[in-house]
Structures are given as C-alpha cells and as structure tokens.
Amino acid sequence: MTTETDPNDATTDAAETAAATAMGDAAAAETNAGTTDAVKTDEVKVEPTPEEKAVADAEAAKTAAESIIGAPEAYDAAAFTMPEGVEFDAEMFDLVKDDLKGMDLSQKGAEKVVGLFAEKVAPAIAARATKAIDDAGAQLRANLARDLQADPEIGGAKLKESQAFAAKAIAHFIPDAPTRSEFSKFLNESGLGDHPLLARVIAGAGRAISEASTPLGGGGNAELTASEKFYGRKG
C-alpha cells in the first residue's frame, strides 16, 4: 500500500523548523547579552591606595629626573655629578649654559653633556695643544741650531771655540755649580743657547775674560776697564 505525502505538509514542517531555529538564535543572543551585562555590572573601578599612589608618583618623578629633555628654569650647577677625576669648571659652564637650555636639555641632560666634555673632549684638546706647542718648540730649536752653525762669526769651524768661550763666561758670572747647571739646562731645553745673537754675546764675554787674564806684551799688568774686559783693549 502506497502512502502519498502532501507537499503542503512538507512546506509547513520546514517553516516551523526555521522559526524554531530563529527563536533559538534570539534566545542565545539574549543570554549572551545578559551575561555581558552581568560582567559589566561586576566591573568595579579600584582606586589606588595612598601608598600605591605615592610609589607611582615617585616612579614618575624618577623618570622625569632621568630624562635628558626638558630644560629647567635654571640649572643647578652645584648639583652636577662629574665623572671620577674630573673637576667641574663653573666658568666654562657659564659660557654654554644658555646653549644647553636652548637645546631643551634637562638638568640630567646638561650634566651628561658637561661631564662628557670634561672627561673626553677637554683632555683631547689639551693634549693636542700641548703637542702643537712641543712640535713648535722642537722646530724652533732645530732652526736656531741650524742658524748657529751657519753664523759667520761663531758658527762653522769656529763653533767649538765659541762654545768654550761661552762656557768660560757662564762659569765666570755664575760661579755656583748647581745654579750654573740649572742655567745651562735652561739654555739647552729652551733652545736659547743656540740663538746666534745670544751665543755671540756670551761667547764674546768669555773671549774678553780670556784676553783680560792674559798678560799684554809690553804693557805690563795694567788693569783693564770693564769695557775693555768685555770688548777688548784697543790698540
């Protein structure tokens, strides 16, 4: 026996199923919304305790203090901490403090810049300047020695004799040995001992002293004047 299905019944069943599904979705959505509302209701804003707020403020102040940006009204130079072995130069700082402020450097930022300059840049500049002075001094001494050797009156073949006369003059006018040694060291280290004009004067004095101590032929032992001792007796 064959049973026939009414098309209208199938359509009705599909419609009812769709309606049930839609109602289920709506119910689920309402449940989720209720859950969300419950969670929101449970959320309570917790205010920090005074102790927690103090800690947070201290951390914020520490961060601000460590920042290199944010120039103060005036820098507290006395509070600067310089690297070990470096002395703070207030006079030099006064020359650049307005520039540091113009760069919007904080107290900490200015301290870092000043410390780095004093620790690394300033010594390098000083070393370079010292080297330049030493090089210039060495060049000057070399030039004076060359000029002395080329001097027509006391240089060349006459140099050793001139040096002997110079030593005699220095020994005569500076009889104290330690003082004489100190003076000779000064002449050598400064290069002035090789200055042709100064060497002429000192060697000339030594020559005059030598001639004054030598008896003059036919002239007896007549005493020489100071001028004659230095320049030699005429005639």
Q: What number is the average pLDDT over the span 31-46?
A: 56
- Confidence at residue 192, expressed as pLDDT on a 0 to 100 scale: 93
pLDDT at 2 over 50: no
70-123: per-residue pLDDT in tens?
999 999 999 999 998 889 999 999 999 999 999 999 999 999 999 999 999 999
134-150: per-residue pLDDT in tens?
999 999 999 999 999 99
Residue of higher predicted confidence among 23 and 69: 69
- Confidence at residue 27, expressed as pLDDT on a 0 to 100 scale: 53
Tokens of 96: 């650049």
Q: How confident is the model at residue 51 (pLDDT cuts 50, 70, 90)?
A: confident
pLDDT at 52 over 70: yes
Residue of higher predicted confidence among 46 and 225: 46
Taking all residues of the chain, what is their mean pLDDT, rounded to a whole number?
A: 81
Residue of higher predicted confidence among 106 and 235: 106
- Confidence at residue 55, expressed as pLDDT on a 0 to 100 scale: 80
163-185: per-residue pLDDT in tens?
999 999 999 999 999 999 999 99
Residues with Cβ within 8 Å of residue 13, at least 6 apart in sequence: none
- Confidence at residue 128, expressed as pLDDT on a 0 to 100 scale: 96
